[in-house]
Amino acid sequence: MEWVIDHGRMAVGSRVKSLPERGDRLVLYASRGAFHNPTRDRARVIGLGITKSAPQNRPVVVAGSPYERSFGIEVDQLAEPREGLDFVSLVPRLDFIVKKESWGGALRRPVVRINERDYKTIASAFMAHMKAGRR
């Protein structure tokens, strides 16, 4: 998570097929495991941005792990990671999450494509969260 934010790049393995194109809007989601204490922490929306470059087939090493592909991102809105919007509050309103009671499976990929309606739902809730000063 820190590497992605610090370097303005998202890295993925070669098997990841669904990648964004330059100019696509994105939501930064941090799983509860991203904070290294999943029993205490919550899954959160921590930022909004855009894809700055098309995916490149160029190896990159993130925290000691190699990845075959990456793409540039620009984050426009960023919360402190543990203070982002609690994701579970959005689950009932999101179309891409079919199984609401076991929603985590819908997010167990490095890149998840969502429809425009879901993006607007997430972005609106995140911006309200940020405006309320809960960064």
Q: Are 105 and 90 contacting, i.e. CB atoms less than 8 angstroms apart?
A: no
Q: What is the pLDDT of residue 134?
A: 52
CATH number at residue 95: 3.10.590.10
pLDDT of residue 72: 95
Please list the rounded mean pLDDT of every run of 10 residues in the chain (135 residues): 89 90 94 67 92 91 91 94 91 95 87 95 97 72
| CA–CA distance, 91 with 89 (Å, rounded to integer) | 6
CA distances from 25 to 32, 72, 115, 117 (A): 23, 12, 11, 13
Q: How far apart are CA 31 and CA 105, in angstroms?
A: 11
pTM: 0.88
CB 35, CB 82: distance < 8 Å: yes
The pLDDT, as a whole number, for residue 135 is 46
pLDDT for residue 39: 63
Q: What is the pLDDT of residue 40?
A: 66
Q: What total number of domains does the chain contain?
A: 1
Q: 85 lies in which domain range?
A: 2-131
